[in-house]
């Protein structure tokens, strides 16, 4: 699936300078191939491209006082498979060491508090893939999508009690439930085609049968319609912006759509 993505972020810098780190770039992985990519800053300023400890592509820029905006556009080919129908349970003690951090509790995903509830709800499902799918179904039907009901401090345990939130909260609760069943799970932030209203989107990946698979517990958007920006233990690793200095945030617009197919080539008459 070929997707076009982009966003425009506007700010007013109130201090003599402010330092921004932006985590809005389409990631690169074996199932996601980046085509054209353009970053435009107004005013034009030098930027530094780098990567986080989780491998997320970011760029940094120092901005003087006044109006400032970022415009990002990219084309991405996504060939991300859906989870298989059946996956046998992994032996947690034999999982790759790189996945173990995604079983442990984290700031927003307190999986150690969900063990009994997760077992009661999903523990007797023998198929690991079905466990994750059932977790997604349960989260989607048990929570009310309620913008403004939660904030950046809200954790999975808070969401469990509130039974409301936004995509970030849905992902955190699903991750915590997976981890409490010893299924490695990690947070994913990205762009999603077909999302209404259009915005940045949060979902998660679960490690099943030796491979990571993407799940969307909020809207059920297909894996090949999502462009990954960032991965991490939870949203703390995937902030879209990190700012040092006083700023007022302005308009944010996000785009993600299926790219139109190229026109068919007509063979020349013989």
Q: Is the pLDDT of residue 27 over 50?
A: yes
269 has a pLDDT exceeding 60? no
The two three-digit tokens of residue 56, written as one number: 């997320």
Q: Pinpoint the residues of the chain covered by CATH 2.60.40.2250.
A: 2-78+240-258
Q: Which residue has the tokens 């945030």?
A: 249
The three-state secondary structure class of 200 is: coil
- As a whole number of angstroms, the distance between CA 120 and CA 212 comes to 25
Average pLDDT for the chain: 94
For residue range 197-250, list pLDDT tens digits in order. Answer: 999 999 999 999 999 999 999 999 999 999 999 999 999 999 999 999 999 999
3-state secondary structure of 2: strand
The CATH architecture to which 2-78+240-258 belongs is Sandwich (2.60)
Span(s) in the chain for CATH 3.10.620.30: 92-237
Cβ proximity of 78 and 30 under 8 Å: no
- Count of beta carbons in the 10 Å neighbourhood of residue 79: 11
Dihedral sign of CA atoms 175, 179, 183, 186 in order:
positive
Where do runs of H (alpha helix) occur along 143-215?
156-162, 167-180
- Cα 184 → chain centroid: 16
* pLDDT of 123 over the 80 cut: yes
Return the residue matching tokens 């999975």.
156
43-62, pLDDT tens digit by residue? 999 999 998 878 899 999 99
Q: How many CA atoms lie within 13 A of 177 on its CB side?
A: 27
* Per-residue CA distances from 167 to 42, 80, 139, 148, 188 (Å): 30, 20, 11, 12, 11
CATH architecture for segment(s) 92-237: Roll (3.10)
Rounded average pLDDT over 123-129: 93
């Amino acid at each position: 699936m070929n997707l076009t993505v982009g966003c425009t972020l506007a700010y007013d810098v109130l201090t003599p300078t402010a330092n921004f780190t932006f985590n809005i770039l389409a990631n690169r992985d074996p199932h996601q191939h980046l085509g054209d990519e353009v970053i435009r800053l107004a005013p034009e300023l030098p930027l530094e491209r780098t990567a986080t400890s989780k491998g997320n592509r970011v760029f940094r820029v120092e901005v003087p006082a006044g109006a400032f905006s970022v415009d990002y556009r990219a084309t991405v080919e996504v060939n991300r498979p859906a989870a298989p129908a059946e996956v046998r349970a992994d032996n947690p003690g034999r999982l790759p060491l790189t996945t173990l951090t995604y079983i442990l509790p984290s700031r927003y995903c307190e999986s150690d508090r969900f063990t009994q509830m997760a077992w009661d709800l999903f523990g007797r499902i023998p198929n690991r893939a079905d466990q994750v799918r059932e977790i997604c179904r349960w989260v989607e039907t048990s929570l009310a999508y309620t913008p403004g009901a939660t904030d950046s401090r809200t954790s999975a345990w808070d969401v469990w009690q509130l039974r409301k939130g936004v995509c970030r909260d849905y992902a955190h609760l699903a991750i915590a439930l997976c981890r409490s069943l010893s299924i490695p799970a990690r947070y994913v932030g990205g762009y999603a085609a077909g999302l209404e209203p259009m915005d940045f989107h949060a979902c998660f990946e679960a490690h099943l049968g030796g491979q990571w698979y993407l799940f969307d517990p909020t809207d059920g958007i297909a894996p090949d319609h999502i462009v990954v920006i960032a991965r991490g233990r939870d949203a703390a690793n995937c902030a879209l912006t990190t700012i040092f200095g006083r700023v007022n945030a302005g308009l944010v617009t996000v785009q993600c759509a299926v790219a139109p197919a190229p026109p068919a080539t007509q063979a020349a008459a013989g």
